[in-house]
Amino acid sequence: KAGVTQTPRYLIKTRGQQVTLSCSPISGHRSVSWYQQTPGQGLQFLFEYFSETQRNKGNFPGRFSGRQFSNSRSEMNVSTLELGDSALYLCASSFPGNEKLFFGSGTQLSVL
C-alpha cells in the first residue's frame, strides 16, 4: 500500500511569490492534515480537511490556505511568501474514524 505522497520534494522561491504544494493521501484515507516544521517552532498544525471541507484550522495567517478534492488529494497554497515561511511542510492522512495520522516525507520550502 503506497504511503502519503507529497510533491515536490524541494522548492526554492523568492519573497513575494506564491507556492502550491500537493499531497496524495493513503488510499481510502479521507482526512488530510497539514503541518509546518521548523527548527525553532517545531511541528505546528496548519489545517485539516475532510470530504473537501476544512474542519480544523491552526493559528496561521490567511496567506496560508488549502483545499481538498473529491479524490481526497489536497493542496496547500502560501501567497506572498516571507523568509520565515522557509520550512518543511508535512501532510498527514487518516482513515475515517481512526485517529492514527500517517505522514508523508514533506516538501522542503526555501524562501530567498
Contact set with another protein (CB under 8 A): 4, 31, 33, 35, 42-45, 48, 50, 55-56, 58, 90, 92, 94, 97, 99-106
CA dist 107 and 75 (Å) reads 12
Is the CB of 17 or the CB of 56 nearer to another protein?
Answer: 56
CB of 63 to another protein, least distance (A): 20
CB of 4 to another protein, least distance (A): 7
Is the CB of 24 or the CB of 94 nearer to another protein?
Answer: 94
CB of 15 to another protein, least distance (A): 26
